[in-house]
């Protein structure tokens, strides 16, 4: 029976029909027959799907409805398989699929219009470790506090179902099925609905460069899902441009639209796009971007890419030959920040010194490497981004990868001094890029964030070995003493240790208050919130000190002074960016050395004898009108100088 697809629903998987029954559609070109086996209700019932063109099979089962469990039987074989487009796997990737009716959920976000990139503050979170319970429901209860903190967009790490009882999610195998580990699909929807009620967007991290090795049954349906023409860092590459690539592309494009449509998500974060290979005339990333925006039906959507080679074609408009995404993660900024905070520039930090010039350039131009030679890779790295708007660069000093790559899962505040951490945080949150925090960063969480993956015994040994070998690129982590202390990724205790203790918000209230104050300043101060292209300039003041000047309307500028070294005394201070606007003087607007944050106080910076910039500190300054007496004194001084000069000429 031919079914006309609803334009807002995907045309694969199990779709509950409005007047009863369920329509099934599967792509299985390597099979002669496909049957649906219903495993609940009248267990064991089998229904043949009718063959279509291009290897699809479809049909309607009148007796099947939402909640029913089913599997697929291929070529009358004994083994049964989950649906490649299953919307839920209640028993995990090896179990039956469940029919889900997304229309049953009652949304309350009817006035929600989505999110644009400008003005956002992103918060990366892993649902399994964000709370002790590790569920959508528990995470939803914490959203009010994140909104009060100043977060505007939640970036959820991957949730496509994967085997085992814990994991990061980057080895997902059921791309349409939110993992059963965090709750039901409707629990996910409630989380999003609650976020929207608090005026926060939700974007999802998705993995379209590979699939996990365990529970991946796609090859049973079609060999053409994968290709050997390209290599990825984790597994077989997806076939986006080879033989029979059309249905493969449709599968991933449908998945991208599915999350926006059926879960009301506000965008996607695309993992490791450098391992998404496509030499066709219409790159898969461009096609995914179009589908995502179409699925939003007028809502504003944000699409962010992780891209190690720093290819700005991803964010160039499609009408200009690009792929049309909105933003890119800026690893260059992170790497410079880590070197400045820790003093280590080993492994992939080799080409960074953490010096003022690097930060000024990153703030003004985004990427530091835009085509220059890169020693670590022994090749040129990056593409031009001089004219890319600041908001298109997501800036961070912590994310899931980089914390785990510290070896022990230590966070930035544990690897540097309190003053440096506060100063770097201020730079990140006040810079014109789009800032991102990683869960717990806002209160200097004491727990680590480690790499964890619950795998079967055969894969577990490979994971342990691979993790140790990866970390060994850092000479400091390659020693036998450190290697022997690495946490076992497959040990449940590694997962448990990575869970946040949210009571630390109160116990670490000083740093928590600092983050809240900085985000309020960023939000409420018109100059810091502008994110204008060309709106910031900077100058090196010392070996580890620099100034950024944010240009406002009518001379209402801001200074951000950063000193990662010892106290710096500038006498003289021949730097024009330090000069106050006419008839004004600089006043301290905010300081990382505020005693409320654990600092030691901040004396006046701009004095009659020069500038004194405190060490391990960040200070924001704003102009204030000169007092009348200072204006009068300046006027009298100029008149006296004029009279003295006139007298000298007459003599």
The three-state DSSP-derived secondary structure of 305-366 is ECCCCCCHHHHCCHHHCCCCCCEEECHHHHHHHHHHHHCCCCHHHCCCCCCHHHHHHHHHHC
Domains of the chain, CATH where assigned: 13-104 (2.60.40.10), 122-211+265-518 (3.20.20.80), 532-630 (2.60.40.1180)
Question: 3-state DSSP call for residue 600?
Answer: coil
- What pLDDT, on the 0 to 100 scale, is given for residue 3? 31
- What pLDDT, on the 0 to 100 scale, is given for residue 633? 73
Chain centre to alpha carbon of residue 469: 25
H or E segment to which residue 540 belongs: strand 536-540
What whole-number distance in Å separates Cα of residue 618 and Cα of residue 219?
55
Q: Are 27 and 223 in contact (CB under 8 A)?
A: no
| Positions of E strands within 396-461 | 434-438
CA neighbor of 114 nearest in space, from 252, 298, 347: 298
- What pLDDT, on the 0 to 100 scale, is given for residue 5? 35
In 10 A of CB 514, how many CB atoms? 25
Q: Are 82 and 72 in contact (CB under 8 A)?
A: yes
H or E segment to which residue 193 belongs: helix 185-197
Strands 201-206 and 153-156: parallel
Q: Are 538 and 483 in contact (CB under 8 A)?
A: no
Annotated active-site residue in 271, 326, 504, 594: 271
Annotated active-site residue in 186, 224, 261, 306: 306
- What pLDDT, on the 0 to 100 scale, is given for residue 8? 41
- What pLDDT, on the 0 to 100 scale, is given for residue 40? 72
Question: 3-state DSSP call for residue 298?
Answer: coil
- What pLDDT, on the 0 to 100 scale, is given for residue 2? 33
- What pLDDT, on the 0 to 100 scale, is given for residue 9? 61
Tokens of residue 290, six digits: 């179009």
Q: Are 339 and 332 in contact (CB under 8 A)?
A: no
Residue 625 bridge partners (DSSP): 584
Q: Is 271 a catalytic residue?
A: yes
Encode 2-25 in three state secondary structure.
Answer: CCCCCCCCCCCEEEECCCCCEEEE
- What pLDDT, on the 0 to 100 scale, is given for residue 4? 34
Question: Based on C-alpha coordinates, what's the Rg of the chain?
Answer: 28
What whole-number distance in Å separates Cα of residue 424 and Cα of residue 618?
8
What is the mean pLDDT for each group of 10 consecutive residues in the chain (651 residues)? 41 94 97 94 82 96 95 97 98 97 97 97 98 98 98 98 97 98 98 98 98 96 96 92 96 98 98 97 98 97 98 97 98 98 96 98 98 96 95 98 94 97 98 98 98 93 93 93 93 98 98 98 98 96 98 95 97 95 95 97 93 97 89 74 69 66
- What pLDDT, on the 0 to 100 scale, is given for residue 636? 75
Q: Is 488 a catalytic residue?
A: no
What whole-number distance in Å separates Cα of residue 320 and Cα of residue 317?
5
H or E segment to which residue 140 belongs: helix 136-141
- What pLDDT, on the 0 to 100 scale, is given for residue 44? 74
- What pLDDT, on the 0 to 100 scale, is given for residue 270? 98
What whole-number distance in Å separates Cα of residue 275 and Cα of residue 210?
8
């Amino acid at each position: 029976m031919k079914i006309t697809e609803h334009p807002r629903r995907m045309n694969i998987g199990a779709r509950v029909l409005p007047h009863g029954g369920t329509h099934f559609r599967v792509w299985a070109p390597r099979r002669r027959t496909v049957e649906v086996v219903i495993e609940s209700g009248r267990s064991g019932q089998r229904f043949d799907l009718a063959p279509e063109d291009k290897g699809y099979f479809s049909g309607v089962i009148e007796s099947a409805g939402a909640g029913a469990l089913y599997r697929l039987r291929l070529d009358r074989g004994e083994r049964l398989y989950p649906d490649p487009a299953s919307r839920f796997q209640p028993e995990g990737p090896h179990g039956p699929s469940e029919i889900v009716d997304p229309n049953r959920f009652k949304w309350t976000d009817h006035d929600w219009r989505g999110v644009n990139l400008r003005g956002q503050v992103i918060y990366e979170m892993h649902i399994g470790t964000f709370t002790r319970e590790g569920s959508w429901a528990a995470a939803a209860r914490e959203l009010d506090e994140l909104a009060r903190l100043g977060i505007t967009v939640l970036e959820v790490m991957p949730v496509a179902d994967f085997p085992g009882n814990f994991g990061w999610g980057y080895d997902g195998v059921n791309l349409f099925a939110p993992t059963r580990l965090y709750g039901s699909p409707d629990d996910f929807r409630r989380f999003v609905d609650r976020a929207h009620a608090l005026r926060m967007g939700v974007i999802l991290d998705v993995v379209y460069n590979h699939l996990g090795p365990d529970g991946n049954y796609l090859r049973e349906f079609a060999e053409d899902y994968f290709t050997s023409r390209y290599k990825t860092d984790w597994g077989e590459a997806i076939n986006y441009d080879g033989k029979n690539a059309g249905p493969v592309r449709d599968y991933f494009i449908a998945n991208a639209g599915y999350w926006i449509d059926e879960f009301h998500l506000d965008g996607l974060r695309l993992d490791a796009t450098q391992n998404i290979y496509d030499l066709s005339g219409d790159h898969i990333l461009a096609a995914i971007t179009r589908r995502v925006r179409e699925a939003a039906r007028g809502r504003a959507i944000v699409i962010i890419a992780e891209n190690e080679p720093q290819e700005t074609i991803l964010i160039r408009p499609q009408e200009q030959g690009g792929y049309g995404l909105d933003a890119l993660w800026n690893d260059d900024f992170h790497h410079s920040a880590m070197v400045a905070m820790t003093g280590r520039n080993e492994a992939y930090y080799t080409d960074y010194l953490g010096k003022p010039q690097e930060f000024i350039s990153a703030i003004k131009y985004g990427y530091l490497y835009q085509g220059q030679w890169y020693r670590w890779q022994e090749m040129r790295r990056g593409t031009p981004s001089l004219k890319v708007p600041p908001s298109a660069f997501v800036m961070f000093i912590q994310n899931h990868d980089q914390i785990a790559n510290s070896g022990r899962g230590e966070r930035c505040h544990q690897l540097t001094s309190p003053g440096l951490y506060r100063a770097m945080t201020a730079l990140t949150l006040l810079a014109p890029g789009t800032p991102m925090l990683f869960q717990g960063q806002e209160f200097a969480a004491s727990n680590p964030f480690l790499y964890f993956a619950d795998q079967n015994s055969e894969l577990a040994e490979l994971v342990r070995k691979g993790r140790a070998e990866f970390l060994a690129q850092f000479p400091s982590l390659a020693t036998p003493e450190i290697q022997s202390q690495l946490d076992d990724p497959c040990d449940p205790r590694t997962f448990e240790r990575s869970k946040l203790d949210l009571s630390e918000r109160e116990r670490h209230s000083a740093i928590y208050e600092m983050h809240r104050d900085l985000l309020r300043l960023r939000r409420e101060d018109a100059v810091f919130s502008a994110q204008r292209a060309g709106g910031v300039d900077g100058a090196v003041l010392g070996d580890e000190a620099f100034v950024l000047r944010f240009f406002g309307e009518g001379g209402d500028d801001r200074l951000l002074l950063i000193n990662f070294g010892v106290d710096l005394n500038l006498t003289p201070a021949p730097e024009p960016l330090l000069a106050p606007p006419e008839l004004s003087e600089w006043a301290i607007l905010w300081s990382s050395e505020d005693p409320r944050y654990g600092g030691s106080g901040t004396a006046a910076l701009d004095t009659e004898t020069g500038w004194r910039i405190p060490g391990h500190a960040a200070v924001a300054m704003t102009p204030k009108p000169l007092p009348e007496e200072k204006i009068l004194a300046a006027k009298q001084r100029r008149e006296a100088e004029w009279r003295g000069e006139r007298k000298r000429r007459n003599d």
